Amino acid sequence: MWLLLAFIAVPLIEIALFIQVGGLIGLWPTLAIVLGTAVLGTWLVRQQGMQAIGNIQRSFNELSDPSAPLADAAMILLAGALLLTPGFFTDALGFALLTPAFRHAAFGFLKKRVKMKSFSYGSQTEYRRDPYGASGQSDVIEGEYTEVEPPKRPTHRPSGWTKH
């Protein structure tokens, strides 16, 4: 229900803002502002997106909880989509999502409402370093192989336009 209301309300808000701002400053300055925010937003999303990817990689390398860096990256991606959408309301939301303080507050808000049951890294099984194990038999089968390619056969007759 909330999603339906958002799909109805956001375009109405954007149209109203376009009419108000366009009436105040004119058509061409309004279009210049919309294009300028899209260009600036794209540049900011690219810069912050690279930092977010670095934070995600660092959390995986340190084996720490990646939920905050992943949420940051998701919000930066959403900000990019909002900034590329023409309009003043979506641009305001997009720029808000690009500020780290707003993202932190939004993550805290969402974290209180989402319950996580489990979290694990990698496989749950243990691997032995000794290939022979306790039984003295190896799980490794040694052998040699060669790849044999089937002969190529044409799938169609010559057309007469080319020489084969």
**Residue 134: which pLDDT band, with cuts at 50, 70 and 90?**
low
What is the residue extent of each domain of the chain?
A: 33-113
The pLDDT value given to residue 121: 60
Average pLDDT over residues 135-162: 74
Are 107 and 36 in contact, with CB atoms under 8 Å apart? Answer: no
Nearest to 55 by CA among 39, 40, 41, 73: 73
Angle of helix 100-113 versus helix 67-84 axis, rounded to 10: 120
pLDDT of residue 120: 63
**pTM value > 0.75:** no
Model confidence at 164: pLDDT above 80? no
Tell me the per-residue pLDDT of 67-112, one tens digit each, with 9 for 90 and over: 889 999 999 999 999 998 889 999 999 999 999 999 999 999 988 8
For the cut 60, the answer to whether the pLDDT of residue 131 exceeds it is no
CB 97 within 8 A of CB 103: yes
Give the pLDDT of residue 163: 62
How far, in Å, CA of 76 to CA of 97, rounded?
Answer: 7
